[in-house]
Amino acid sequence: MATETPEGHPPIDWSKWEPAGEGDVRSPCPMINALSNHHILPHNGKGITKGQIVSVLTKSINLDSKIANVFATGALATNPDHSAHSFDLDHLRKHGVIEHDVSLSRNDIAFGDNHSFDKSVWEGVMKSYGEKTETDFASVSKARYERVMAAKKAHEEAGKDFQYGIKEFVLSYGESALFLGILGDPKDGKIPLEHLKVLFEQERLPYKEGWRPLEQPLTQTQMNHLIFSLTTANEHKAAEAAEVGLGTVHAVTSAVTSILPSFCNVM
């Protein structure tokens, strides 16, 4: 069940929202950009410390602090100044740290811009949902896998190297699990497609459309459940396991159940 703000945290005015302006920087992450657009993270997208982003993610959208810490550590590693204690949102486009090929709404680095919202990539993903107005595990899994296949084909046709191994697999499933868990109920994989579109297309939390922050933090166990449900819903899971070099569906399951430790190892 959702609430106005996570218990014990001051209310957030989710109606406060302004897109990036002159001199502001943004990232390939729709959620982090949205939090800057809502002025919850710095609106200019600059000088964000690890403590600051962990605090924002736990207080505003109720992400478990351990998960927030893993991503925040990755974020800091993207700053070209390795002695810095903060990062700017445009640092996050650094390929191979968190940013990877096969994004749902961004193009791949081999084709130039790996960080700006790409209407044509996103529309291809939305097409997978057909006439649906609500997600389920099967449709989210199908949309994600079709994007992987489309990216693979585009690389082959252009004679470019396609990067889709275990790291990209984990991150890509993890990101679909994150939007299901944060925008909906961490158990059932159902969110209104309209909410997903608002997050990706406008980089805004769909508060006025009815979304409310989770009452309890989204935990690693819940993330494992979401990712496991997504991988098992993929009717091409055996082919995908072979593609990423895991060999068997069983190996995919093992990779998934140790998902957050894997995040730590691959970053």
Selected from 12, 31, 244, 266, the binder of ligand HEM by CB under 6 A is: 31
Shortest distance in whole angstroms from residue 176 CB to ligand HEM: 7
248 vs 265, which CB is nearer to ligand HEM? 265
Point out which span in 103-111, 130-138, 206-214, 258-266 binds ligand HEM (CB under 6 A). 103-111
H or E element that contains 87: strand 86-87
230 binds ligand HEM (CB under 6 A): no
**CA–CA separation, 233 and 252 (whole Å):** 12
Q: How far is the CB of 243 from ligand HEM (least distance, A)?
A: 18
Q: Does 53 bind ligand HEM (CB under 6 A)?
A: yes
Q: Is 103 in the site for ligand HEM (CB under 6 A)?
A: yes
99 lies in the site for ligand HEM, by CB under 6 A: yes
> What's the burial of 140, exposed, middle or buried (CB within 10 Å: 0-12/13-18/19+)?
buried
CA 20, CA 45: separation in Å to the nearest integer? 9
181 touches 226 (CB < 8 A): yes
Q: How far apart are the first and last CA of the chain?
A: 33
Distance between CA atoms of residues 222 and 218, nearest Å = 6
| Out of 6, 14, 25, 29, the residue judged to bind ligand HEM by CB under 6 A | 29
Rounded-to-integer distance, Cα 202 and Cα 117, Å: 10
Closer of 150 and 249 to ligand HEM (Cβ): 150
- Smallest gap from Cβ 248 to ligand HEM, in A, equals 26
Q: What are phi and psi of 160, to 5 degrees?
A: -105, 155
Among 39-47, 66-74, 159-167, 220-228, which window interacts with ligand HEM (CB under 6 A)? 66-74
What is residue 207's DSSP assignment?
A: T
- If one asks whether residue 57 binds ligand HEM (CB under 6 A), the answer comes out as yes
Name the segment binding ligand HEM (CB under 6 A); options: 153-161, 171-179, 203-211, 253-261: 171-179
* 151 or 256: CB nearest ligand HEM: 151
3-state DSSP percent of the chain in helix, strand and coil, to 5: 50, 5, 45
Contacts of residue 101, defined as CB under 8 A and 6 or more positions apart, other chains included, come to 108, 109, 110, 151, 155, 162, 163, 164, 168
State the nearest-atom distance from the C-beta of 250 to ligand HEM, in Å.
27
Binding residues for ligand HEM (CB under 6 A)? 27-32, 53, 57, 63, 68, 71-72, 74-75, 92, 98-100, 103-106, 175, 178-179, 182
